[in-house]
Structure 1
Amino acid sequence: MTDRTEQIDWDSTYRGEARFDGPPPWNIGEPQPELAALIRAGKVRGEVLDAGCGYAELSLALAADGYTVVGIDLTPTAVAAATAAAQQRGLTNATFVQDDITSFTGFDGRFDTIVDSTLFHSLPIGGRDGYLRSVARAAAPGAAFYILVFAAGAFPAELEQKPNEVTEDELREAVGKHWVIDEVRPAFIHGNIPAMPGFPMPDREFDEKGRIKMPAFLLSAHKPG
């Protein structure tokens, strides 16, 4: 299996110095609609880990709703931006940590809900198992786990650098080693069209805000109680 993410400098991407002319296309200024629907449906509970939080639109929205949230991300630029945004909004219940999500420690048994908003496909394939072990260790008994991830075929095959898209079977096999899977269903990841020379945009639908809708899966799982 070819790993398409190993050479990506994520901090340069967040600084606007690499790959895209402007903010990363996944930075849509609000939680992904699929995850916002989970929040409205009452699927998020207790203390929350935002795994690979990035600019942390999800963390900030949850904190504004009264949840206590910890966001962890590898890139110092994203963590600094998320921390500043929380301070500006007076959200003392949102904190952000710069760490490697595939090996972080210090939160054993803490979180009731863990949300992965487009992180899984950004990880090196070899880092997936460490990530899933680490978040399982940080989860409380009975914790819920949600992953929103690009489905195989979402991007043109000729792209040299792109997310590590997954098939449903591949996703189930990886996550099922550490979590009890409740559901995997088709979903969408919404994004802004990147201003990137030579980027071959696939023929996709757009949402009411003009954002492209890319094929994805939404996985729901839990840690045994």
Structure 2
Amino acid sequence: MSKLWVSEIFYSVQGEGIHLGKPAIFLRLSGCNLRCVWCDTKYALDMKSGKCMSLNEVLSEIQRYPAKHIVVTGGEPLLQQLALIPLLKELKKLNFFIELETNGSIEPVSNLVKLVDQFNVSPKLSNAGLPKPVLAKSIYHVLASKCKAYFKFVVISPSDLLEIDDYVTKYYLPRNKVILMPQAMTSEEHNKRLLFIIEHAKNRGYRVTPRLQIIVYGGGIRGV
């Protein structure tokens, strides 16, 4: 029986993206293949920092909550995608809407793509401090062509916006599927950056969402 390394399972509201404010269950898997300098979930970076849980244990925990909307996040969930498939199959039987968040560096297998209702792909800009741009080029075409993906970019400075424009042009990303959000650890920092992000989005036809968890709780807080 497949097992998953789980950092945390909690019930909250979706803090960003097109389902902003919607009650959802969050399944945060541990383990990530990247080390972004501004990561606000460093506690989930190492696979074995989480708890190894069986399918039944994870399902039992999820079913404690009333929502039928789940967000699979990390870490990088696609590091465990083969073990994740049996869980997603069970969740679909229970009529769950499934969001899966990924950094876009690992291509999902077709059996997983079929089970996910929405991918939230977060390509890493140079502000992440990675040695070189990290992405699986095919992921854009696979997911965008199936109308299953939104592309979320975390913005720190105005120069990031030009980099985003290059991504959109290079990979033919639909502008109405591009979401800009501020990177921040405090509500003050968040709101300051949101101002120039909004102006750029208006000129480009991109979407903008705040990050409720940062506004309300600040960065790096678990279970929100």
TM-score (norm 1): 0.40
Higher relative CO (CA 8 A, sep ≥ 6), structure 1 or 2? 1
Looking at secondary structure, tell me which structure has more helix per residue.
2
